[in-house]
Structure 1
Amino acid sequence: MDESRAQRVVDALRERGVPAHLARAGVAQFGVRVALTDGREALWDTDGTAGLEAQVMRNGVLVGFVPHIDGSEYFAEPQVVDAIARTDYDQPIARQRATAPPSAAPLPREGGFFRRFRDGFR
C-alpha cells in the first residue's frame, strides 16, 4: 500500500471511530495499524503484497493473524475500510463479521499542524 492510500484509509477508519494509525514498516512500506484492546495491535498490509491481510501483535510478538481476504487485491478504498472495520480479532485466526459494528464517535485526524505542511495546506 502506498503512503497516500494508507493515510486515506486511516482517515476513513478514524472517522468511523476505529483507532487506526499510519504504519511505517520500512523504506517505502506503509500500512495501517489498528490499536486493539488489551495491548494488541493489527498491522494491515505492511508486507507489500497485493492482497489484504494482517498480523496481530502484542509487545512485538505475533499472537494472531487475519488470513488473506479473497479478492482484496481488487478492493477500492471504501471496501478496504469496510473489511478492516468488520474484522473480529477475538480468536487467534481472525474472521470477518457479516456486518461492521456500529460506528463510534469520530477520532481526530493525526498529524495536526505538521500534516498541513506535508499535504500542502489542503
Structure 2
Amino acid sequence: MEENRARRVVDALRDRGINAQLARGGHHMGVRVLLPGGREADWDTDGTAGLEAQVMRNGMLVGFVPVIEGSEDYDEEQIVDAIARTDYDQPIARQRATAPPPAEPLPRVGGVFRRFLDGFRYR
C-alpha cells in the first residue's frame, strides 16, 4: 500500500475508534490494528495487490485474514470498511455482514508534531 494511502486509512480507522497505526513491512507500508489479548493484525504490508492480513502475538503467527476477493480494486473507504468488518476471533478471520458501530474516535498519532515526525512527506 502506498504510504499516504495507508496514512489516510489509519486516520479513518482511528476516527471510527479502531486502534490502528502505520505498519512498515520492509519497503512496504500497511496498516496495523491492535487487537485484544496482545494480538496485532498487519494489513497489506507485503506489497501484494489484494487486501489480506496476518494476525501476530509476540512475533508468532496466530491467525490470518485470507485475501478479500476483489479487494485489489478497493478505494480507501472500502478498505476501511473491510478492516472494520473483520472478526478476528477465529484463527482464519472472516468478514462480518456489517461493521460494528463506531466507537469514540481516537486521537491521530503524532498530534501536533505529526508533520515534523514524518518529515513533511504528505499534505
The one-letter code matched in structure 2 to 1:51 is G
Shift of 1:119: 4.0
Alignment partner of 1:5 is 2:8? no
Normalised to the residue count of structure 1, the TM-score between the two structures is: 0.94
Matches within 5 A, 1:103-114: 103-114=102-113
Distance in 2 of aligned mates of 1:119 and 1:106? 24
CA RMSD for the aligned pairs?
1.4
Identity value in percent: 74
Structure 2 unaligned residues grouped into runs of 5+? none
Structure 1 unaligned residues grouped into runs of 5+? none
Other-structure match for 1:21: 21
Shift of 1:113: 2.9
Distance in 1 of aligned mates of 2:64 and 2:85? 14
The one-letter code matched in structure 2 to 1:106 is P
Deviation digits for residues 16-58 of structure 1, max 9, x if unmatched?
000000001113x100000000000000000000000000000
> How many residues were matched structurally?
121
Shift of 1:121: 9.4
Shift of 1:111: 1.6
The one-letter code matched in structure 1 to 2:64 is F
Could you say if the C-alpha distance between residues 92 and 111 of structure 1 is closer, same or farther in structure 2, counting changes exceeding 3 Å? same
Normalised to the residue count of structure 2, the TM-score between the two structures is: 0.94
